[in-house]
């Protein structure tokens, strides 16, 4: 049987589809390019539209909202984590002080008045109100918030929060007997020790004075007003400034004359404050006999003559403890010595108050007489007449 060859013709697939496949690839490439361009154009248009919308929105002014106020600035600038404080509404603060009534006013300083307030839960507060004519600007306002918010001590005023939006319930001098005064001196010393040594930061207050010491119901002193405070680095002992601020009568000589301040500047102010608490007199404006002595000079002369007890205010003499008074005067004179290096640290001061041993003999203090200083020192002091002891 003859078998013929079977001729099977198999179509050449590559040959028959080579052109269409190339065409498809070309079309797909074109489509991809076009789609990419469209996506890019859409994204660019979306970005431009979003920018335009934000710009448009930022140009819209909301009605009845003050612009560029201190509170607006502070709230915006505190977004970086300067403080973690509560923000009180002005209406709440106003209500707590009976709309800042005169009979709630505790005192007034260069920054403005301080009012006593009572919150809805019965908590008593002191409200520091920055006046329009205040010498304390936004920087000092923020400075005070920053320090008080981060510092916690029983003898430092506690800051509850802020509202950025002493005819004084005065305790008369005759009411404060010696035991209360001695308790106040100890508390102030412990508060300063905390600032200088025991807090997370080394703080120099720079404006320690009677009107910046608040008293609670138990006569515990609270150091307040940190608007002029400065933070020191771990290895920094002193600083120098051309912008000398503070209160005449409490300024150390190196700070008043040369702009040099350190923790020893606060020690000097503390010494002056102790003499004021003991005597019931203010250093500034004090005069004795011929008017040439200020309180520091008068205390020094009595100490040298062995008559230091005569410095004590008359209304306290029936309730006094002579040893405590003499020790307080002695320590205060150590604190107001002319040279900063001669003054003790606050840790030494606290130890001296707690012990009964002999004290080193003080050197002559810096004698500040108002009329002598007036002709040589610039007019930079902030003096307030509400220092009552």
CATH number of the domain that 77 lies in?
Answer: 3.30.200.20
> Are residue 130 and residue 248 in the same domain, yes or no?
no
Domain final residue, candidates 103, 129, 162? 162
Tell me what pLDDT residue 191 has: 93
334: its two tokens = 């150590």
pLDDT tens, residue order, the chain (389 aa): 444 443 434 444 444 444 556 677 777 778 787 888 888 888 888 888 878 777 666 554 444 444 344 444 444 344 444 545 666 777 778 888 888 888 888 777 656 778 888 888 887 777 877 766 555 555 666 666 666 666 665 666 665 555 555 333 544 555 688 999 999 999 999 999 999 998 888 889 999 999 888 888 788 898 888 888 888 887 888 888 888 888 888 999 999 889 999 999 999 999 999 999 999 888 887 766 656 678 998 999 999 999 999 999 888 887 789 999 999 999 999 999 999 999 999 999 999 999 888 999 999 887 644 444 444 444 443 333 334 44
Tell me what pLDDT residue 127 has: 80
Would the pTM count as exceeding 0.85? Answer: no
Report the Cα 160 to chain-centroid distance in Å: 13
C-beta of residue 222 within 8 angstroms of C-beta of residue 156: yes
- Answer whether residue 252 is part of any domain: yes
Cβ atoms within 10 Å, residue 95: 14
Domain final residue, candidates 162, 189, 223? 162
> Are residue 84 and residue 155 in the same domain, yes or no?
yes
> Are residue 361 and residue 326 in the same domain, yes or no?
yes
- Answer whether residue 158 is part of any domain: yes
> Are residue 265 and residue 215 in the same domain, yes or no?
yes
> Are residue 205 and residue 338 in the same domain, yes or no?
yes
> Are residue 99 and residue 177 in the same domain, yes or no?
no
Report the Cα 219 to chain-centroid distance in Å: 23
> What would the DSSP string read from start to end of 79-102?
GGSS---EE--HHHHHHHTTTT-G
Q: What is the CATH number of the domain that holds 220?
A: 1.10.510.10
> Are residue 205 and residue 328 in the same domain, yes or no?
yes
Tell me what pLDDT residue 144 has: 67
> Are residue 341 and residue 260 in the same domain, yes or no?
yes
> Are residue 203 and residue 90 in the same domain, yes or no?
no
Tell me what pLDDT residue 160 has: 58
Burial of 166 (0-12, 13-18, 19+ CB in 10 A): buried
C-alpha closest to that of 273 among 349, 189, 154: 189
> Are residue 142 and residue 187 in the same domain, yes or no?
no
Q: Which residue segment(s) compose the domain that 341 sits in?
A: 173-374
387: its two tokens = 């220092």
- Answer whether residue 45 is part of any domain: no
Domain final residue, candidates 141, 162, 183? 162
> Are residue 272 and residue 135 in the same domain, yes or no?
no
C-alpha closest to that of 208 among 188, 181, 190, 194: 188
- Answer whether residue 20 is part of any domain: no
Q: β-strands 230-232, 202-204: how paired?
A: antiparallel
> Are residue 182 and residue 155 in the same domain, yes or no?
no
How far apart are the C-alpha atoms of 207 and 270, rounded to whole Å?
Answer: 10
> What positions carry a catalytic annotation?
207
154: its two tokens = 């029983």
- 113, β-bridge pairs: 108
- Answer whether residue 57 is part of any domain: no
Helix boundaries (H) for the chain: 13-58, 70-77, 90-96, 138-150, 178-193, 253-258, 263-279, 295-304, 322-335, 346-354, 370-374
- Answer whether residue 65 is part of any domain: no
Tell me what pLDDT residue 304 has: 94
**What domain count does the chain have?**
2
First vs last C-alpha separation in the chain: 143
Which residues, in sequence order, are CB contacts of 266 under 8 Å at separation 6+? 192, 195, 196, 204, 205, 206, 208, 346
């Amino acid at each position: 049987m003859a078998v013929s060859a079977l001729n099977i013709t198999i179509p050449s697939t590559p040959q028959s589809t080579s052109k269409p496949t190339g065409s498809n690839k070309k079309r797909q490439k074109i489509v991809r390019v076009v789609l990419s361009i469209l996506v890019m154009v859409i994204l660019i248009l979306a970005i431009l539209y979003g920018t335009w919308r934000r710009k448009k929105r930022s140009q819209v002014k909301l009605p009845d909202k003050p612009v560029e106020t201190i509170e607006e600035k502070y709230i915006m600038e505190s977004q970086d984590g300067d403080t973690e404080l509560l923000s009180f509404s002005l209406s709440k603060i106003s209500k707590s002080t009976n709309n800042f009534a005169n009979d709630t006013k505790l005192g007034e300083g260069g920054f403005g008045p301080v009012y006593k307030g009572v919150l809805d839960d019965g908590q008593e507060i002191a409200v520091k109100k920055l006046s329009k004519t205040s010498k304390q600007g936004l920087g000092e306002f923020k400075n005070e918030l920053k320090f008080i918010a981060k510092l916690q001590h029983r003898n430092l005023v506690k800051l509850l929060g802020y509202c950025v939006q002493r005819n004084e319930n005065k305790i008369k001098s005759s009411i404060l007997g010696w035991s209360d005064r001695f308790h106040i001196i100890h508390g102030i010393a412990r508060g300063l020790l905390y600032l200088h040594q025991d807090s997370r930061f080394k703080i120099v207050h720079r404006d320690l004075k009677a009107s910046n010491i608040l008293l609670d119901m138990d006569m515990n002193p609270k150091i307040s007003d940190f608007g002029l405070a400065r933070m020191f680095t771990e290895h920094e002992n002193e600083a120098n400034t051309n912008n000398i601020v503070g209160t005449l009568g409490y300024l150390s000589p190196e700070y008043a004359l040369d702009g040099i301040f350190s923790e020893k500047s606060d020690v000097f102010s503390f010494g002056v404050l102790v003499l004021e608490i003991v005597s019931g007199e203010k250093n500034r404006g004090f005069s004795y006999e011929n008017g040439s002595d200020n309180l520091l000079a008068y205390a020094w002369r009595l100490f040298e003559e062995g008559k230091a007890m005569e410095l004590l205010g008359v209304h306290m003499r029936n309730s006094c403890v002579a040893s405590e008074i003499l020790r307080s005067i002695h320590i205060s004179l150590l604190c107001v010595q002319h040279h900063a290096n001669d003054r003790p640290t606050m840790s030494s001061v606290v130890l001296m108050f707690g012990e009964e041993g002999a004290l080193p003999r003080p050197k002559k203090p810096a004698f500040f007489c108002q009329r002598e200083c007036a002709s040589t020192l610039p007019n930079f002091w902030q003096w307030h007449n509400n220092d009552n002891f």
